[in-house]
Amino acid sequence: MSILVVGSVAFDDVTSPSGSMQNILGGAATYFALAASYFTKVRVVAVVGEDFGAEQEQVFHQHGIDTRGLERAKGKTFRWGGSYTDNLNEAKTNFTDLNVFETFQPRIPKEYEDTEFLFLANIQPTLQADVRRKMSRVRLTGCDTMNYWIKGALKELQETLKLVNVLLINDTEAKMLANETNLPRAANKVLAMGPQALVIKHGEYGATIFFREGAFGIGRHPFRAPTLPIDEVKDPTGAGDSFAGGFMGYLASQEELSREVLKRALFYGGVMGSFAVERFGTERLQSLTREEIDERFQIFRELTHLE
């Protein structure tokens, strides 16, 4: 089945303890699309500027990603610059030039209307809700957000959360959204806002999925997937979006949403996130094979598997 991602495509400048790269292809939709492309057919709705050339578009096409929803606007592509010091979990933003992204109004091509899986990457919550409402044949919607919207557009975000099936955020965001420091309690409060499932990402410790009573008919018990301890994290940018791409991409590749499928999806999320951070930008995500992905899936499985 196909999956549509709506979000940002960007050029990033990234500095980490491992080095520095300028002008590299980034953006939530890019990381998500590349990660999901190893599992299923991916479609993108995003906006780019005149500086986005054939070379960049080629990256999408090489992975069979449908870019008919990639709008070209006058001006420059969204640009972000960030630095990581020893705490690789948190980027210091050096600059954010929204450029053409500032007035982004997602337009869904007619050919995308039959899409069954939707991922609303981190954009203004009202835009997320608008997209969801337009996609009448969607079976499952995933959604991301960030502190900026939790603080500045909470009401709008709460409206959006009523329309989505799975919210994927990190510990800090979950606690902030629920106004609650205990994680399971925070999870329950967030689930009460609408989503049937909540994936909380713990960075290097993996992720936990919490379910609302009756969600997907699979029982309430949470499930945890680990991540591989990695010797060198070169660039954490896009790890969360790659996680979402692996998670949602795997779901979209499956016939039904059983508990086992959701568990495997959480593992695949961790796998794609762990690949993303091994090199700068999307480099590692561009060069993977499904065999490498499944090999790492087995390593992750072994990491916690009791006979």
User: At its nearest, how many Å lie between a second copy and the CB of residue 87?
Assistant: 8
User: Amino acid identity of 21?
Assistant: M
User: At its nearest, how many Å lie between a second copy and the CB of residue 120?
Assistant: 26
Pick from 233, 257, 272, 276 the residue near a second copy by CB under 8 A: 233
User: At its nearest, how many Å lie between a second copy and the CB of residue 249?
Assistant: 18
Tokens, residue 77 = 């592509």
What angle do helix axes 239-252 and 259-276 make, rounded to 10 degrees?
150
Please work out, in degrees rounded to the nearest 5, the angle formed at the alpha carbon of residue 14 by the alpha carbons of 144 and 52.
75
Classified as helix, coil or strand, 261 is: helix
Per-residue x/- mask for a second copy, residues 131 to 170, rule CB under 8 A? ----------------------------------------
DSSP, res 37: T
Pick from 50, 102, 114, 260 the residue near a second copy by CB under 8 A: 260
Size of the site for a second copy (CB under 8 A): 37
User: At its nearest, how many Å lie between a second copy and the CB of residue 204?
Assistant: 7
Pick from 155, 221, 255, 290 the residue near a second copy by CB under 8 A: 221
Pick from 53, 54, 86, 255 the residue near a second copy by CB under 8 A: 86
- Closest to a second copy by CB, 52 vs 297, is 297
Return the residue matching tokens 């949403």.
257
Tokens, residue 33 = 């699309």
Please give the C-alpha separations between residue 114 and each of 117, 164, 182, 184, 213, in angstroms, as whole numbers: 9, 18, 40, 36, 29
For residues 181 and 141, what is the distance between their CA atoms, to the nearest angstrom?
27
Q: Quote the radius of gyration of the chain (alpha carbons, Å).
A: 18
- Does the protein bind a second copy through residue 7 (CB under 8 A)? no
- Does the protein bind a second copy through residue 213 (CB under 8 A)? no
User: At its nearest, how many Å lie between a second copy and the CB of residue 136?
Assistant: 34
Please work out, in degrees rounded to the nearest 5, the angle formed at the alpha carbon of residue 181 by the alpha carbons of 179 and 183.
105
Pick from 205, 214, 220, 287 the residue near a second copy by CB under 8 A: 205
Contact 163, 125 (CB under 8 A): no
Pick from 57, 71, 159, 204 the residue near a second copy by CB under 8 A: 204
* Interface with a second copy (CB under 8 A): 86-87, 181-185, 187, 202, 204-206, 208, 210, 221-226, 229-233, 260, 263-264, 267, 299, 301-307
